[in-house]
Structure 1
C-alpha cells in the first residue's frame, strides 16, 4: 500500500519531483508552500508522512507532537550536522538533501513503520487537548518513597494540593531547601500555570520566567545541561545552593508551558540534579477537551504532566473544616486524572483553634472516618510568625526560623527517608562542577 505524503519546499535536486515519478511505496498527494499549509493538510487526514525540503529550522517539539497526534511522521532534508542533531532530538527523521528519491522513499517508509510499532509512553508525549488519556502514562505500581533506588536519574517530587491556598508553594520551597541543605543538588521548579509564586516567596525580582525560557529551548530541541543551568536562578543557602526555574510572570502566559516541552525540561533536570522539586498548580480539569479545536493547548497539562512524571507526589491540604473536604475531593480528582500516582497526604496549618484540642488526633480520627484510603503521612503545624518572618525576609524557614516547629516537621518529612537509605549522587563529575560554579 502506497504511503500518502505531503511536502513543503523545493530541494536542489527536486527530490519531491523524483518521489512523484517513482510510482512506488510513496505517493505525493500535495505540495505545500509553507509549514502552516502542510500542518492543515496533515490534520485533515490527507497524509501519513510530511517531507520538509526547506524551513526545517521552523520545526519544534510542539509541531512534531501535533502531527504525531494525527499519525503523521516528519522527514526533513538537511546537510547540517548540528541541525540533524537538533531534528533527531525533537523526533524528526533527518535525511541528507542530496539523497536520491528511492532512498528518500525508503526513509519515509521506515519512519512510518517505526511510528506504527507499539511503544511505551515517552515523556515528550502530546501536550495538546486531544483526550485526557493522551497525556497519561500507563497505570501501574509507582514507588512513592523518595529513598527508592534511582533508575539512572534524579528523583522528581511534585507538591500538589487543591484550591484554597493550602500552602503548596511554602511546602515545596522549603522541601527543596532542606534537601539542598542536606548536601543534595536540587532544582526547584515553579510549574503553577495559575499563580506562580516561588520567586515572590524567595524575594527574587525575576521577570524572565526561567521555566518558560527552558520550555522554549526544549521546544526548539536546544535544551542541554549548560542551557538549563543558564536559565536557572541560583540561590545560595547557609549550606548548599538551590537552583530555581521561576514560573510564568503573568497567568496569560500559561500557553508557554506545553506538556511536551515541560517533560523534556523535567528529564534534563533529573539528569543533572539529585532532586527536582516541582510546585504544581491546583486544577486537574480537562475542560479544554470540550473546545471545538481538539488540538488546542491545555492549561492544566503542566500540572498533570508534573504529577504523572513524579516519583513522589505530596498532596497538601489545609487542616481545617474547609481545607480537609477540599483535599478529600481533590484526591478523588487526582486519582481520576493521574491513576498511577500514589500521593502522600500532608495536612498543613495544623492548629487547635481550627481542629479542636489535640488537633492531630482529631484530624486523624476524622480522616479515618470520612477520608479516602490514603493515610495521612505528616502533620505540619501552623507557625504564622515563622512563615511571616521568612516571607518578609525573602528566605526559607531554615534560615529565618531554624527552630520553628514547621521547619523541623518539613525537614523530617522530606529528609528522614533520604537519611535512612542514603544513595550515591546521580551527578556526573562534570555536572557537579557546573552547579558549584
Structure 2
C-alpha cells in the first residue's frame, strides 16, 4: 500500500519531485507552503506522513503530538547536527537535505511503521494534545552520559477532590520527609487551578518553574542541566529538595501541555529518586464540546500526572462533607485513569467533626459506604502546627517535629515505600528502599 504524504517547503523541490517519481512506496498528495497549511491538511485525514523540507526549526513537541493525534508521522530534512538531535528528542525522524528519494521513502515508511507499533496511528482525537489520557511521546536515548535516563526515579502524585482536603500540605511534607531521609526529591506543582506550593514554602518566585520546563520540553531542549536550573532548591535542617513551582496566574494553564509535561516528568525521574506531584482536583476531560477537538485542556496536567504516577495518594477531609466528595471523586478517578490504584488518606481527623473515637467511626462508615478501597492513613488535625509552618514558610519537620500529624505523614511515606521494596528485610534508610 502506498503511503500518502504531504510536504512543506519549496526549497527541496528536487527531493519532493523524486518522491513523486518513485510511483510506489509513497504518494505525495499535497504540497504546502507553510506549517499551518500542513497542519490543516493533516487534520483532514489526507496523509499518514509529513515531510518538512523547510522550517523544521518551528517543529515542537506540541505540533508533533498534534500530528500524531491524527496518525501522521513526521520526517524533517536538515543538515544541522544539533537540529537533528533536537528533532530526535521530540519524536521526529531526520534526514539529510540531499537524501536520495528512495532512501527518504524508506525513512517515511520507518516513521509510519513506528507509529503503528506504538498504536497511535489512526487514533484520531485520542491524542495527548487533546486527550490527557493518550500515550506520552517516548523519550529517545541521549548521546551524553549525564542525560541518559536510568529509570530509577518514581512518581508520587497527591490528588484530592474539590474543596480544601490538604493536597498541597501533604505533598510538601511528603517531599520534606523523603528529603530528610537522604533522598533526592523533586516537588512539582502541577495544579492548573490554584498552584500554591511556592506560597506554602515561602518562595518568592515569579518564573513558574514548571511552565519554564514545559516550554523547554516543547522545544526539545530540556536536558538534565536545564531541568535542574528551572527547579528551585529548598533547604532543610536534615537535607534539601528541589521544587518546580506552579503557574503564577490561573490563566497560564495553557502552558502545561500534556505532551510537554510527560517529557518533564520523565526527565525528572533522571535527577530525583522520588518526584512528588501536587495535582489539581478536576478530572473532567474538558473541551470535549469544543469545535477544536485538538484544543489544549486545562485538566491535562492533572490527568497526565496521575497516569504517570506509580503511587497516587487520594486525600480527603474527614468530615461529613469531605467523605462524600472523596467517594464521588474516587469513582471519577477510576473512570478517568483506570490504571491508578489510589491509596486513601483521610486528613484533618478530629473528634469535633466526627465524634468519639474518630478513627473507628470513620473506618466503619468507610466500610459501609466507601468504594471498597481500604484507608491507608488517618492524618490528625493539627491546625497550630500547620499555621506555624505556613507562617514561617517551612515544613512540619522543622516547626513541629513532634507533631502527630508530621509523624503520620512520615509513616505514610515509609509504608508506601515498603510495599514496593525488595530489600532483605533488615532496617534500611528510605534511599535503599526507594532505589530499585
Task: Provide TM-score, normalisation by structure 1.
Answer: 0.90
- Per the alignment, residue 147 of structure 2 pairs with none
Moved more, 407-416 or 193-202: 407-416
Note the C-alpha offset of 1:89.
1.2
2:134, 2:120 → 1: CA distance? 13
- Per the alignment, residue 83 of structure 2 pairs with 83
- Per the alignment, residue 19 of structure 1 pairs with 19
| Cα 1:387–1:259 shift into 2, 3 Å | same
- Per the alignment, residue 434 of structure 1 pairs with none
Q: Retained in 2: the 8 A contact 1:136–1:338?
A: no
The structure with higher relative contact order (CA 8 Å, sep 6+) is 1
- Per the alignment, residue 261 of structure 1 pairs with 260
Moved more, 232-241 or 412-421: 412-421
Query: Secondary structure of the equivalent of 1:372?
Result: coil
Identify unmatched segments of 5+ residues in structure 2: 138-149
- Per the alignment, residue 126 of structure 1 pairs with 127
2:400, 2:102 → 1: CA distance? 70
| Aligned-residue CA RMSD (Å) | 2.2
1:66, 1:417 → 2: CA distance? 37
2:47 corresponds to 1:47:
yes
| Cα 1:243–1:335 shift into 2, 3 Å | same
Q: Retained in 2: the 8 A contact 1:355–1:363?
A: yes
1:350, 1:263 → 2: CA distance? 35
**1:171-250 equivalent positions in 2, closer than 5 A:** 171-250=170-249
Q: Retained in 2: the 8 A contact 1:271–1:426?
A: no
Note the C-alpha offset of 1:59.
0.5
Note the C-alpha offset of 1:414.
0.8
- Per the alignment, residue 432 of structure 1 pairs with none
**1:313-328 equivalent positions in 2, closer than 5 A:** 313-328=312-327
Q: Retained in 2: the 8 A contact 1:127–1:298?
A: no
Q: Retained in 1: the 8 A contact 2:363–2:375?
A: yes
CA offset digits 1:8-31 (Å, max 9, x no partner): 113357311222233232222221
Moved more, 297-306 or 102-111: 102-111
Q: State how many pairs are aligned.
A: 411
- Per the alignment, residue 97 of structure 2 pairs with 97
Moved more, 358-367 or 410-419: 410-419
CA offset digits 1:277-302 (Å, max 9, x no partner): 00000000113212221111111111
| Cα 1:369–1:12 shift into 2, 3 Å | closer
Moved over 6 A (4+): none
Note the C-alpha offset of 1:48.
1.3
Q: Retained in 1: the 8 A contact 2:12–2:53?
A: no
Q: Retained in 1: the 8 A contact 2:189–2:277?
A: yes
1:53, 1:327 → 2: CA distance? 52
- Per the alignment, residue 435 of structure 1 pairs with none
**1:376-395 equivalent positions in 2, closer than 5 A:** 376-395=375-394
Query: Secondary structure of the equivalent of 1:380?
Result: strand
Q: Retained in 2: the 8 A contact 1:4–1:26?
A: yes
Note the C-alpha offset of 1:212.
0.5
Identify unmatched segments of 5+ residues in structure 1: 138-150, 428-437
| Cα 1:90–1:215 shift into 2, 3 Å | same
Query: Secondary structure of the equivalent of 2:287?
Result: helix
Task: Provide TM-score, normalisation by structure 2.
Answer: 0.90
- Per the alignment, residue 143 of structure 2 pairs with none
